Structure 1
Amino acid sequence: MKTKSIATRQTALITGASSGIGYELAKLFARDDHDLVLVSRMAPMLERIARELKRDCGVHVTIIAKDLFRPEAAQELYDEIRAAGITVDYLVNDAGQGAYGRFAETALDQELSIIQLNVTTLVVLTKLFLRDMLARDSGRILQLASMVSKTPSPYQAVYAGTKAFVYNFTQSVIDELKGTNVTMTALRPGATDTDFFNKAGAEDMWAVQHDKLGPADAVARDGYEALMAGRPAIVSGLQNRIMDAVSNVIPDQAVARGMRKLDQPARKTRH
């Protein structure tokens, strides 16, 4: 049973909301009676999700089809939300993409676009909405980092670099937010069962071929609970937490060799 009136509901803005972790996070917010602003390039998928969440949870869902690879898209998104009179209480920067392969052989244009989406768009959205949150002295931000935020990742060099930025950027801003009622959380999932690997051209990766992918709903739950608790970071999954602890005490190049096994193309054995 809903206990909040429309006037008192808070609103979560989620980028990359059409599938995977973003979609699972949208369901969690809706089940807790939060209104939503869902952003993705995939308008038909957003429309389906909006119908589903309105029907199942009774919340208001605004969808905005926006290509966040475009340099001007983040400012446009902010302006559209302000013009609609929507106050964003929770910002979830989930949108992200990778490229798979040896760095010397991958496409430069694609990797520059990935840096734009994973880093620049995230920074712009964070700055714009954070200023509003600080003016109200209220708000929470969830940044999608990664297990590779703190480890070398052969065959995903640019992606790993962007996620290292996200993690360190987040932890730096968190310190600046001390003494306020605004919090920021970095979610660090491992390889997760989403469309990420198809988009990155990484279907042949060892972890994918051997079904070593975590469930997106569990990752979303970990991130959601950490966000609501105001935690600075969360590594999703027990195995990932063990790997993270080990990687903190061994040399980076030893970690890189281990990651190379997980990231390199695998011999396909499934038929």
Structure 2
Amino acid sequence: MDTQKSKTALITGASSGIGQELAKLFAKDGYNLVLVARSTDKLNELGGRFWDEFGVETTVITKDLSEEDAARDVYNQVREKNLTVDVLVNDAGVGLHGLFATDTDWEKEKALIHLNVLTTTQMTKLFLKDMVARNEGKILNLASLVSIMPMPLMAVYGATKAYVNNFTQSLVNELKNTNVTITALLPNATDTDFFNKAGAAHTKVTENLDDPAVVAKDAYNALMKGAHKVIPGGFSNKSQEIMAYVTPQEALAGMMRKNMEPKDETLSEEKNNKAAWAWGISLGAVVLAGAALALLYNTSSTYDKARYRHKAGKLKSDADEVYDDVKDTLINGLNNVREAVVTAKQVVAKAKETLAEAWS
């Protein structure tokens, strides 16, 4: 156990999923906990378990954070208990699946916006002010990888996560002269109860979900380092960020919509398609990263060039891994890979265009 016994982490949405995994990591490092969610019994059960395993104290606050001024009530309860929140984790959030114009319910969307946007903003506002006054503290805001992409069939959810990401990166700049850090967590689709609650358990995206424990570990490490953002998982997830920045929005929206459509009977074909798209995107990302690295190398000092040569070696290793996986995919379905190659070519073309603008 680490020597963090005097510190406290407040985690919303702590009863399950990523929030629960993060609570476990904080408890393991000796942080006392303030756990916020709607399920009192579940939070009390977690508190008892963390006391038995790690000897940390847990304060439970039962609250529906989609309610008006819910964040203010949580803040006041914390103040009344004379607790100092050293780390705030805004993990609570919900989604809603369906066509915005005809399928989804406004009251549910209003509650979604309140929880994902208003409560996250107000919680940050209240606790950040105290952190800045102490010149110490950390905040983790749950955005999503879809915060940088269009999100058909979950349009309102995607928009709220875009807000969270933009809001967080703006505060990164505002806090740069303080000892307070704020981090945006951008996970890919994760194996939690999120899709079930959002009415999206039947969609194709649920065929390939990340482990919430892995997501939480990457998020925790980034938060402790004071990173501005973190995309958990392997190279494929990180390559999707590059893809989002260089792929035309209409094409990107089409790809995302396919992920959110219902599963069909051609499951094996869909899996091959998904693998093909992933590796095609990865190849494009490798090319883009290599081109960007070449640009930096040509405009850098001798010292920096040495560092970039090291990065180039790592990039070559990543490219070799992608190439090996592409060979496997080719064996399983050449037709699917052709589509991926087209996407990769589009990414490379956009990269060339971006680099040409940079040189001019």
Instruction: Using structure 1 for the length normalisation, give the TM-score.
Output: 0.95
Give 2:107's aligned amino acid.
Answer: D
1:265 to 250, 257, 262: 262
> Which residue pairs with 1:235 in the alignment?
231
Checking the alignment, whether the CA contact within 8 Å between 2:2 and 2:28 is kept in structure 1 is: no
Runs of 4+ in structure 1 off by over 4 angstroms are 1-4
Checking the alignment, whether the CA contact within 8 Å between 1:183 and 1:230 is kept in structure 2 is: yes
Q: CA deviation at 1:3?
A: 4.2
Task: Say if 2:175 is the partner of 1:177.
Answer: yes
How do residues 215-226 of structure 1 correspond to structure 2 at under 5 angstroms?
215-226=211-222
2:109 to 105, 108, 111: 111
How do residues 140-159 of structure 1 correspond to structure 2 at under 5 angstroms?
140-159=138-157
Give 1:77's aligned amino acid.
Answer: V
* Cα distance in 1 between the residues matched to 2:201 and 2:176: 42
* Cα distance in 2 between the residues matched to 1:202 and 1:218: 22
Task: Say if 2:26 is the partner of 1:29.
Answer: yes
Name the structure where helix makes up a greater proportion of residues.
2
* Cα distance in 2 between the residues matched to 1:140 and 1:226: 11
2:210 to 208, 211, 214: 214
CA distance 1:203–1:269, shift in 2 (3 Å): farther
1:175-223 Cα deviation digits (max 9, x unpaired): 0001100000000001000000111011111011x2x000000000111
Q: CA deviation at 1:269?
A: 7.0
Q: Percent identity?
A: 50
3-state SS, counterpart of residue 36 of structure 1: strand
1:29-61 Cα deviation digits (max 9, x unpaired): 000110000000011111111111110000011
Checking the alignment, whether the CA contact within 8 Å between 2:117 and 2:163 is kept in structure 1 is: yes
* Cα distance in 1 between the residues matched to 2:239 and 2:113: 29
> Which residue pairs with 1:251 in the alignment?
248
> Which residue pairs with 1:133 in the alignment?
131
Q: How many residues align?
A: 265
Task: Say if 2:4 is the partner of 1:16.
Answer: no
3-state SS, counterpart of residue 139 of structure 2: strand
Q: If you compute each CA radius of gyration, which structure gives the higher value, 1 or 2? A: 2
3-state SS, counterpart of residue 68 of structure 2: coil
Give 1:174's aligned amino acid.
Answer: V
* Cα distance in 2 between the residues matched to 1:205 and 1:46: 30
Checking the alignment, whether the CA contact within 8 Å between 1:204 and 1:268 is kept in structure 2 is: no
More RCO (CA 8 Å, sep 6+):
1
Question: Structure 2: any 5+ residue segments left out of the alignment?
Answer: 268-360
Instruction: Using structure 2 for the length normalisation, give the TM-score.
Output: 0.72
Give 1:115's aligned amino acid.
Answer: I
> Which residue pairs with 1:72 in the alignment?
69
1:194 to 172, 192, 210: 192
Checking the alignment, whether the CA contact within 8 Å between 2:113 and 2:160 is kept in structure 1 is: yes
3-state SS, counterpart of residue 92 of structure 1: strand
